[in-house]
Structure 1
Amino acid sequence: MSAGLFAQYVVIGLIVLTSAWIALRKLAPRPTSRWLAAVALRLEQPRHSRFAHALGRWLQPRQTTGDCSDGCGTCNACGPKPPAAQRSADTLPLTFRPRGK
């Protein structure tokens, strides 16, 4: 295997792993946040180097702040809104009239 072909395989593998990680973060945010927190906690133990501590702090998931931009979903204000017909109490019923000839 030539060096160019090996480099192609490495680049394609990195692209596939990155896209799989992004999809996993979008589809399952809570488990991936727990996994990142567990890895960060292990890296921040005293026996590790300064680089491992910095990597652990960088991997630590952000804490929810309570505003609508973090998507925590605790107040149900960020969720999907009901359709406009259900929100308005004064909606009129739909009536059909025959066409005039």
Structure 2
Amino acid sequence: MDASLALQYAIIAVAVVVSAWVVVKKQFPGPLRKVRIALALPLLHEGRASWQHALGRWIAPAGSLVNGRIAGNDCGGCDGCG
């Protein structure tokens, strides 16, 4: 396979991944938030390396702690914030 064909495949793959990410963020914000929390929490435990804490903070969705739970403006949760 020559380099130009490999470059074309790489560009198409990046475009497909970006498109899929946009669709998931727009169509499934609640489940995406739950998945991000589930992936981030194990990385934020005490005793983990600093790079794992940084990765966990990067993965975790933006939000604040309300009544001991993570909540945000667009969480789509139980409406217990109001």
- Relative to the length of structure 2, the TM-score reads 0.66
User: What is the percent sequence identity of the aligned residues?
Assistant: 37
Q: How does 1:1-101 map to 2 (within 5 A)?
A: 1-45=1-45, 48-63=48-63, 70-72=73-75, 74=79
Q: Check the 8 A contact 2:40/2:56 in 1, yes or no.
A: yes
**What is the CA–CA distance in structure 2 between the aligned matches of 1:35 and 1:5, rounded to whole Å?**
35
The total of aligned residue pairs comes to 72
Structure scoring higher RCO (CA < 8 A, sep ≥ 6) equals 2
Shift of residue 15, structure 1, vs aligned partner: 1.4
Instruction: Judging by fraction of residues, say which structure has more strand.
Output: 2
Gaps of 5+ in 2: 66-72
Instruction: Judging by fraction of residues, say which structure has more helix.
Output: 2
The higher radius of gyration belongs to 1
- Cα RMSD for the two superposed structures: 2.7
